[in-house]
Structure 1
C-alpha cells in the first residue's frame, strides 16, 4: 500500500509544470456514496450496505451469488413529529437477520430495530423504534452498543444499558441480553456501581470488569459464568484508565489496553491468575496502537483494535493508525492474503472488513486519499477476488489531490501532526490556503478520502489540517495537554500551523482562510477575533459561539449528563469558571472580528443549537459587520442529504472565491 508520509522538506517533489485543474461539478463531491458501510453476513451469502434512495439513506441487501438486491423501507419517525428517518448502520445477528440503527435530524439516534434481510419480521429493540405506549419497566430502553453477537437461533446479543432516561449513571453500564427475534431482554450482569467497562469472551460470557473510582482504576475477573468475581488489579492511581480489548484463549489471557513506557496506548496480555501484564503485543514510539477515546473509523469500519477469528479461535492481528491505517498480522495465512491483495491493489490501503463463519469468504475494502474506496469479495474455495461495489464510482482518483502527512513544532515545543492537501499538478509553494481545524476537540483528522477537502483542492486551494493537542492517537501526553486549554494552547496550535505554512513557503500569506465545523467552527471564529491579521476570511459551520449559553442548554438534558461531566472537567466549570468561559466565547469579542464571515447552521441541530449561530450573527451585526449566513432546513449537526451538502458546498466555494480570491488554475 502507498505511504502518504512526507514532511514539508520533501514537498518540492511536486514541483514542475503545473497542469490545469479540471473544475469538476460540485455535485460530484456532494453526492451520497452508492455503497457505504458494507457488512458481510455470517454465512457469507449476503452483503448489507447503505445507499441513498429518494432523498433518504436506506438499507440495501445484496444476495451475492444471485446478484439480487433488497431495498428496505424502515418507515416514518412517528415519535419525532414525522421527521425523515434514515438508516445509519446495520449489523448481522444471524445469517438472515440484522440490527438496523436509525436516525432523525441528521444522525440523531432514533432507535434500533431488528428485521430479516427482506425487511420482514420487524421488532423494536431500543429507543423510539418502540413506537407503542408500552415502555420497558415503565421507561423506554435506550441501548445502542452491542458487545457480543451469539449468532444463535434466537439471535441473542449482549448490549450495554447506560441508563439513558432511566435511573443510573451512563458511565456505569449494566450488561443486558437482548433477543433480536422478539425484542425481549434481561439483565445479564448488574453493575455493582463501580464498573466502567466490561470484557466478554468468545462464548459471550462477561468475565472482566474495569473498576473506576475518581482517578483510580482496577479490574475484577471471573473464570466462568458460574465462578465468583475476584479482584485481580486493585483500585489505585494508574497512568490512564484501563480498558478490556478482548480475550486470548490460546494463551489463557485477557487482552488489556495500557500505556507503554513511552506513554503510548497498546494491548497487553494480562495473566488473570497473577494480575501481571506481559509484553505489549505491538507498540510504536510515536503513535498509539489503541485509542482511549473515540475509535477512528472509515465508512463505519474500525481502524484500531484486535482482529479475531471465530473459526480459528485466535487473535489474527491488530489494526492501528499511524500516518495512515495499518495492520500487523500475527497469523501467517492472513498476512499472505494481505500481501496478495496489496499486490493486486497497489494504490490503496486494503483492510479486512468481515470474514464468514467458515472462513471461506472475506470482505475487504480498498481506499486512499484520492480514492473513495471499493468493497471486494475474496472467495477462497473459488479462488476468486472481485469488486462488489465502489463507494463513489464517478470519482476518478487521478483527478483528486494527494494528502501529505506533515508535522511541526508548536510554540511550547510540542510536536503536532497534520495533513497538507495540495491542488493536483502544483508545487506546495505560495498557494491560497484554507486552514481546517477539526471538530471535537477530542477527535482527530485521518488520512483518507474527504469529499470536502477534495472539492477545495479541485477549486485550487491547498488545505491544512492539524491534530492539535487533545487529538487522540499521538500519545497520552499530547492528549492530556488539552485539558482546560480551549481558547488557549489548542488555539495556539492552530495558529502555529498557519505560521508554519507561511514559513515553509506553502501558503501565500495574503491569501489564507480558516474554516471549521462544530468545535472547528468555534476555532475559526476564535482565530478571526484573536489572530485576525492572519486570515482574509473565515467560515464557521455549527460552531459554538457562547460557552455559558450552551452549558445552560445542556444542563437539563438527562441524556447529556456524562458529557456534561466531561465538559466541566476538560473545558471549564460554568459555576466556577464563568469569567473564563465568557472570555473565550466569540459572541463576546465579535467587535474584534473584521474579516468577512460565513456562518452555516442546521435548523435541527441538537448538539450545537441554532441559537448559537443566531447569537453570533446578532453580535456581528451589532459590531457593524453582518456576516453571510445560511440556515439549512431539516439538517442537524452534520449534513445528511446530498441536497444540503450541495447547498453548503456551493456557498463555501462562492464565499472563498469572493473573499479569498480564485484558487490556482
Structure 2
C-alpha cells in the first residue's frame, strides 16, 4: 500500500510539474536585446580584459584591469556599434572596426590602453576591410585585407597603427580567394581559384614567389590551418581521397600529405584549437547530434577536464588566451543558455566568472533542442533538430519550419534566440540539414548541387511529412520561416506545396536566382563560376532557375506573407523586391502581404528597436495565421 501511495504521489508531482512547465511568456526584448557582455578578449601580456557592452544601445569597448579589477569604458559611440571582430595588438592596444551604414563607410580605429585615446586610422567608403593578423616582432604592425584598389579583388596591406602608414604587402593578381597568415602575420600560403578549379600556393618567405603545391576542384577541399614548427610542414583540414574532412599534416615543399592526425568516420572535422607557443593542434571538434571534441594534447585535455567538471552541463570552449598561455577566456553555452564567459588561470587553477551574454533569461524557462533524423523519399538520411515548447503536450503541435540559409551551410546544436522565442510562444520548431549542408562529408554536400529547387526542397517537405506522420505536427498549423536561401525555401514551400503551410515569413529572402548571381558584389565574382556549378548557370540552366525563382511564380503564392528587408543589404535588389511585393499585393490583397523595408539596415537587423518591431510583427502574424485551416 505504501509503495502504491509513493507511486501515486510521484505521478501527481510529475503532473503538477508539467503544469508548472507551461512557459511564462518572456518579453520579446529579453530574447533580442543587445547582448549585455560579449566578445571578451585578453591582452597579450595577460594584464587586461576587454569586452563589448551596450552604451545607449550601441556596443562599445570596456577594459578591465586584472590587477585591481577596475573597469573603464574605453569607447562611447552612440551612432554605430563597435564590431565584434576586434583585436588586441602586441603593443597593448586594440584595433577595431565600425560600420557606418548611412554612408556605406568602414572605419578602423586604434585604441591606446594607457590613455584610452581612440585614433581613426582608416576610413573608406564602399570598401570592405578585415583584420588578418598581428606580428609579435613588430608590435605596431597588423595585416589587413581590403578591396581599396579594385572592388573585385582584396589585397593585403601592412598597417602601422601608430602612424597610420598603409603599405601594400600582397597585391592580388585576380584569383587569390584566401590568405593564411602565420603566427606573425606573414603570408606563406594562399588559395587561388577560378571558381571551379582551385590550388594551394606556398612560398618560404616574402622574397620568394609563390608556387603551386596542391590542385583540386571545388568539390575537394584542403584548408590550411597553421605551420607545425617542424621544417615546412603545416596542418590542414582535407577531404582529398576521403569523404569526411580530416586533420592532416602536409609538406609545403611538395604539397604531399604526410600523415592523418585525426579523422572521424561520421562527420567532417570543422574546428580546432592551436597553440602558437608549441605550434601544436591541441584539439579538434565536429558536429554530431551535439558538438564533439577529440583532444590531441594532454595538457589542454587536463585543462578541459577541470573546466568540464566545474561547468557541468555546458559546452566549454577556450575563446582567447594570453601570449604566455597561462590565462584563458572560457566561453560556455547550451541550447538553453546564450552563453557565459569565465577567466581561467592555469598556474593557480582558479576559475572566475566574468559575465553573461543575456542574464535576464532563465535556463529552466527555455526549451531543449533535440537531435532528430529521418529518411528522405529517396532513402537518404537527413539530420536536424526539433525544439518542443514546454509542457506535457508533445503531439499535434503547431510547427514553425526553419530551413537554414546557404544553401551550403549547416545548422548545429546550440542556443538560437529565434528558436527559443517561437518555442516560448507555444510552437514546435523544426530545423533540417538538408542535402548540400556542410559537415556531413563530401558526398552529402555534393548531393545538393543543382538541387536548390529540387531534392533540397523535397528533403524539407519530407521532414514536414515525417512530423505529421509521427503526430508531432498539427497538419493544419504549419508555418515556414527563413532568411536568405531559407527565405527562398519558405517562398518555394508556399508556392509549390500550398496545402502544407498556413503562412511564410521571409527575412532578406532570395527571390530571383538570375539577379542574385548577376548582381553579386564585385568581390564575389571569383565565386560566380562555382555558383554556376553548385546552383545553376543562368544561361544553360535558365529554364530550371526561372521555374523555381519566386519572382516568376507570384501566381502560385496565395498564403499570407511577412517580409523583412534591410535596404543596405549587399545581396538584395531592392527595386526588384518592391516590384515583387507590389505584384503579390495586387493579386492577393495588401492585407495578406506585409512588408517591412528598413533603410538603415544591412542583411540582419542590428538596431534593437528594429529587431523588437520585427519579432513583435512575427508573433502577431503567426497568431493570426496559425489558426485551423478552413
Q: Do the structures match in fold with TM over 0.5?
A: yes
Confirm or deny that 1:248 pairs with 2:248. Answer: no
Is contact 2:140-2:162 (8 Å) kept?
yes
Mark the CA change 1:481 to 1:64 in structure 2 (over 3 Å): closer, same or farther: same
Is contact 1:518-1:608 (8 Å) kept?
no
Is contact 1:516-1:539 (8 Å) kept?
yes
Q: 2:35 aligns with which of 23, 33, 36?
A: 33
Deviation at 1:362, TM superposition (A): 0.8
The RMSD of aligned alpha carbons is: 3.0
Q: 2:555 aligns with which of 584, 587, 591?
A: 591
Q: 1:628 aligns with which of 573, 576, 594?
A: 594
Question: What are the residue-to-residue correspondences of 1:443-522 with 2, within 5 Å?
Answer: 443-522=409-488
Question: What are the residue-to-residue correspondences of 1:219-618 with 2, within 5 Å?
Answer: 219-225=200-206, 231-233=212-214, 235=215, 240-250=220-230, 253-259=233-239, 261-272=241-252, 275-290=255-270, 304-305=271-272, 307-551=273-517, 554=519, 557-618=521-582
Q: 2:136 aligns with which of 144, 147, 151?
A: 151
Deviation at 1:356, TM superposition (A): 1.0
Deviation at 1:425, TM superposition (A): 3.0
Confirm or deny that 1:94 pairs with 2:79. Answer: no
Deviation at 1:158, TM superposition (A): 2.7
Matched residue, 2:124: 127
Is contact 1:111-1:142 (8 Å) kept?
no
Mark the CA change 1:510 to 1:213 in structure 2 (over 3 Å): closer, same or farther: closer
Is contact 2:194-2:526 (8 Å) kept?
no
Matched residue, 1:71: 73
**Distance in 1 separating the partners of 2:455 and 2:414:** 27
Is contact 1:239-1:259 (8 Å) kept?
no
Deviation at 1:391, TM superposition (A): 0.7
Mark the CA change 1:55 to 1:564 in structure 2 (over 3 Å): closer, same or farther: farther
Mark the CA change 1:636 to 1:160 in structure 2 (over 3 Å): closer, same or farther: closer
Is contact 1:245-1:267 (8 Å) kept?
no
Is contact 2:22-2:391 (8 Å) kept?
yes
Is contact 1:165-1:558 (8 Å) kept?
no
Deviation at 1:195, TM superposition (A): 4.9
Deviation at 1:433, TM superposition (A): 0.6
Mark the CA change 1:120 to 1:541 in structure 2 (over 3 Å): closer, same or farther: same
Gaps of 5+ in 1: 1-13, 77-82, 129-139, 291-303
Mark the CA change 1:214 to 1:404 in structure 2 (over 3 Å): closer, same or farther: closer
Matched residue, 1:177: 158
Q: Tell me, what secondary structure is at the counterpart of 2:286?
A: strand
Q: Tell me, what secondary structure is at the counterpart of 1:654?
A: helix
Taking structure 2 as the reference length, the TM-score comes to 0.88
Q: Tell me, what secondary structure is at the counterpart of 1:257?
A: strand
Q: Tell me, what secondary structure is at the counterpart of 1:34?
A: coil
Deviation at 1:446, TM superposition (A): 1.9
**Distance in 1 separating the partners of 2:473 and 2:77:** 50
Deviation at 1:204, TM superposition (A): 4.2
Matched residue, 1:135: none
Mark the CA change 1:251 to 1:330 in structure 2 (over 3 Å): closer, same or farther: farther
Deviation at 1:238, TM superposition (A): 8.5
Confirm or deny that 1:51 pairs with 2:53. Answer: yes
Matched residue, 2:10: none
| Bigger Cα displacement from structure 2, 193-202 vs 642-651 | 193-202
Mark the CA change 1:226 to 1:536 in structure 2 (over 3 Å): closer, same or farther: closer
Q: Tell me, what secondary structure is at the counterpart of 1:532?
A: coil
Deviation at 1:75, TM superposition (A): 5.4
Q: Tell me, what secondary structure is at the counterpart of 2:83?
A: strand
Mark the CA change 1:332 to 1:85 in structure 2 (over 3 Å): closer, same or farther: closer
Deviation at 1:444, TM superposition (A): 1.7
Q: Tell me, what secondary structure is at the counterpart of 1:89?
A: coil
Matched residue, 2:8: none
Matched residue, 1:6: none
CA deviation vs aligned residue, 1:19-77 (integer Å, no higher than 9, x gap): 3221111221121110112221111222222222213222222223333333344758x
Mark the CA change 1:437 to 1:49 in structure 2 (over 3 Å): closer, same or farther: same
Deviation at 1:251, TM superposition (A): 7.1
| Bigger Cα displacement from structure 2, 320-329 vs 448-457 | 320-329
Deviation at 1:232, TM superposition (A): 4.1
**Distance in 1 separating the partners of 2:54 and 2:492:** 36
| Bigger Cα displacement from structure 2, 581-590 vs 514-523 | 581-590
Mark the CA change 1:481 to 1:113 in structure 2 (over 3 Å): closer, same or farther: farther
Mark the CA change 1:210 to 1:85 in structure 2 (over 3 Å): closer, same or farther: closer
Deviation at 1:501, TM superposition (A): 1.2
**Distance in 2 separating the partners of 1:241 and 1:563:** 15
Q: Tell me, what secondary structure is at the counterpart of 1:122?
A: strand
Deviation at 1:208, TM superposition (A): 3.1
Deviation at 1:575, TM superposition (A): 4.2
CA deviation vs aligned residue, 1:383-440 (integer Å, no higher than 9, x gap): 3211111111111111110001112222233222211111123453221110011122
